[in-house]
Amino acid sequence: MLIMIKNKLDSKNNVIKKAIFQKQADNIFTIKVNKSIEIVIVPNLGEKNSHQDNVGIILEENEILKILSKRYNQVIITCIKNKIDLINLVERKPDLVFSGVKFFNFGKEKIWLNDFLEAYDIPYIGSDTTSLNNESNKDKAKKIVLKAKVKTAEFFIAKPGQYKTSKKIPICFPLFIKPLKGGDSRGVDSDSICFNFKSFKKKVLDIKNKYNLSSLVETYLPGKEYSVGILQESITGNLTAMPIEITTKENINGHCILDFDIKKNDEEIVTAVTDIKIFRDLEKIAKKSFTALGGKSFGRIDIKMDHLGRGHFMEANLMPGLRKGYFYRSCKLNLDINYDEMILNIANTGLTSNIKSH
């Protein structure tokens, strides 16, 4: 009986959350708000949508322009090519900068966009620079969430030649190895699961050669894989967690790994989490992790189960993609909001957030 009551309450809470976000979206086309928003991008000299170290979110800027223009009076796209462009931006003092740019390299000078905007009290979407640095270094992020009493797989950092024998390795095989930095499962492939010292050395060397990075080496967790989108409500500041389960087919070694090629080719299957206990466990881990890392506005927390079905923090993305990837699908499956509503909610949160909190 108690379980039935709890499930009814949980269902009611989900309806209320959906109503909060949908009510914000209901006003989209009725009243245009007199706010100025600049969608800030940088030139990409490579192929369209190719990876750039200084860009955390690749924006479909023309699509976002159309969406935001339905709600706000003044929306433009600004391409920052040099420091003068950046100075001109802050002199215009827009009400919001909507951008996926992390930093600019102007000659020898490196300027973090969000730090620069904060100096001029200009709101922006997403988390501040300190939080972005917390999540981008994966071992630092794991240490932070551990202090918040969130489970994460045992780990250590490895460079080629650092460990001379298997006895020197601080945790037991099997191991899972990936680059210390970077997203989109770059550097993750069928060789990432290592069962012996030979395969360990090979993968660590491969990551160094391809990415010039050290490796994050973790205890391999064989359980299910999840990603939890986080949206911060613009009025209350409360966090809404939106779990999804991600499944993949077995690779040539018989393992299910969410590797770079599977993500790139969109071969994984994404489904809603319907088990209420698992949902609540994922929600708790994601919210605690997001808060510990200092996340603001929106983000994504990746979680994996061990052999006993216990959730472990894997990594965070405080600048998740705003195309139709995991973050959008988590919004769609959990809140039943469309792409336009997701973009407008993120913009609205940025506009209503206290600049001092960034």
Give 25 or 238, the one with higher predicted confidence: 238
Task: Compute the chain's Rg from CA coordinates.
Answer: 21
- Where residue 266 falls among pLDDT bands split at 50, 70, 90? confident
Residue 24: the pLDDT is: 53
- Do the bridges between strand 96-99 and strand 33-41 make them parallel or antiparallel, or are there none, so unpaired? parallel
pLDDT at 247 over 50: yes
Distance CA 53, CA 73 (A): 32
Distance CA 18, CA 250 (A): 35
- Where residue 11 falls among pLDDT bands split at 50, 70, 90? low
Residue 182: the pLDDT is: 80
**Alpha helical stretches, state H, 212-259:** none
Whether 138 contacts 216, CB under 8 Å: yes
For residue 329 the two structure tokens come to 């699908």
What's the distance, Cα to Cα, between the start and end of the chain in Å? 45
Residue 1: the pLDDT is: 42
Residue 32: the pLDDT is: 87
Distance CA 99, CA 86 (A): 13
Distance CA 59, CA 76 (A): 14
Distance CA 7, CA 5 (A): 5
Whether 28 contacts 344, CB under 8 Å: yes
pLDDT at 356 over 50: no
pLDDT at 6 over 60: no
- Burial code (b: 16+ CB inside 10 Å, e: under 16) for 53-65 equals eebbbbbebeebb
pLDDT at 333 over 60: yes
- Where residue 357 falls among pLDDT bands split at 50, 70, 90? very low
Closest Cα partner for 282 from 310, 308, 247, 317? 310
pLDDT at 248 over 90: no
Residue 49: the pLDDT is: 58
Whether 199 contacts 242, CB under 8 Å: no
pLDDT at 302 over 70: yes
Four-point Cα dihedral 191, 56, 240, 21, nearest 10: -130
Distance CA 206, CA 210 (A): 6
The whole-number average pLDDT for the span 178-206 is: 89
For residue 322 the two structure tokens come to 């705003």
Looking at the DSSP assignment, which residues form a beta bridge with residue 157?
216
Residues in the chain: 358
Residue 233: the pLDDT is: 85
What percentage of the chain's residues is helix, strand, coil (to nearest 5)?
40, 25, 40
pTM confidence score:
0.86
pLDDT at 27 over 90: no
Whether 245 contacts 225, CB under 8 Å: yes
For residue 182 the two structure tokens come to 């970077």
Give 201 or 20, the one with higher predicted confidence: 201
- Ordered by where they begin, the domains of the chain are 25-126 (3.40.50), 154-220 (3.30.1490)
Which range, of 40-49, 64-73, 134-143, 222-231, averages the lowest pLDDT? 40-49
